[in-house]
């Protein structure tokens, strides 16, 4: 992978949201967010910190209606940014997994930078709202991310009583699994981690 900078900048503007994302896969975990959805920002910060990814996300969305478009579109744009940042994926580990507990909650995230979108999402939140945030939107976020990053992602909340804890374990585990998957594999330097020779088609 050499000294190649694994960074990306995405601008995505629609009639519902205007989004700017900057990402550095080889960062130190610095997150800066201005989206109008505070609880989503708290979760995005978990991805940055636990993934050691520098992440800057700015969004102006129609949150006066609800948070749906903002959350889904940030997922889409983040997926686009990830796909651009890791490029052809030569020399990476490709697979990542993590179990993360928080008090009574435990989540497992397993992912494959496969070039094929797929989401298995087994999460039953114990309540519908965390503050004013609708927990159904997490599914929309990860669907958008998976479809545009072109990854296979399995998310399982194995147990939990506190919905805030459930969400936080999911996002921390996602960040750590992503960190593992994008890490350089010294034994695979310059080699595509796929028997078919590509992870982009």
* pLDDT tens, position by position, 7-17: 999 999 999 99
Q: Tell me the CB-side half-sphere exposure of residue 44, using CA atoms within 13 A.
A: 29
**Mean pLDDT throughout 96-122?**
98
Angle, CA 62 vertex, CA 35 and CA 39 arms, to 5°: 35
Q: Which whole number is the average pLDDT over 119-130?
A: 98
Average pLDDT of the residues in 50-58: 98
pLDDT at 191 over 90: no
Helix axes 136-149 and 68-86, enclosed angle (nearest 10): 30
pTM of the model: 0.93
pLDDT given at position 2? 46
CA–CA gap between residue 48 and residue 172 (Å, rounded): 9
pLDDT exceeds cutoff 70 at 193 = no
Q: What is the mean pLDDT of the chain?
A: 94
pLDDT band at 68 (very low <50, low <70, confident <90, very high): very high
Share of the chain above pLDDT 90, in %: 88
């Amino acid at each position: 992978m050499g000294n190649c900078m694994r960074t990306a900048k995405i601008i995505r503007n629609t009639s519902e949201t205007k989004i700017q994302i900057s990402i550095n896969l080889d960062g130190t975990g610095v997150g800066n967010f201005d989206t109008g959805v505070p609880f989503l920002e708290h979760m995005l910060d978990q991805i940055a910190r636990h993934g050691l990814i520098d992440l800057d996300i700015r969004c102006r969305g129609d949150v006066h209606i609800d948070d749906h478009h903002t959350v889904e579109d940030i997922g889409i744009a983040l997926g686009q940014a990830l796909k651009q940042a890791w490029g052809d994926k030569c020399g990476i580990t490709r697979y990542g997994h993590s179990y993360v507990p928080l008090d009574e909650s435990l989540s497992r995230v397993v992912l494959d930078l496969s070039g094929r979108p797929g989401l298995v999402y087994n999460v039953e939140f114990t309540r519908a709202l965390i503050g004013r945030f609708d927990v159904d939107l997490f599914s929309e976020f990860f669907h958008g991310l998976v479809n545009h990053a072109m990854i296979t992602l399995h998310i399982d909340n194995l147990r939990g009583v506190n919905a805030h804890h459930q969400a936080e374990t999911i996002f921390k585990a996602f960040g750590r699994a992503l960190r593992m998957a994008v890490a350089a594999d010294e034994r695979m330097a310059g080699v595509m981690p796929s028997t078919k020779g590509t992870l982009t088609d």
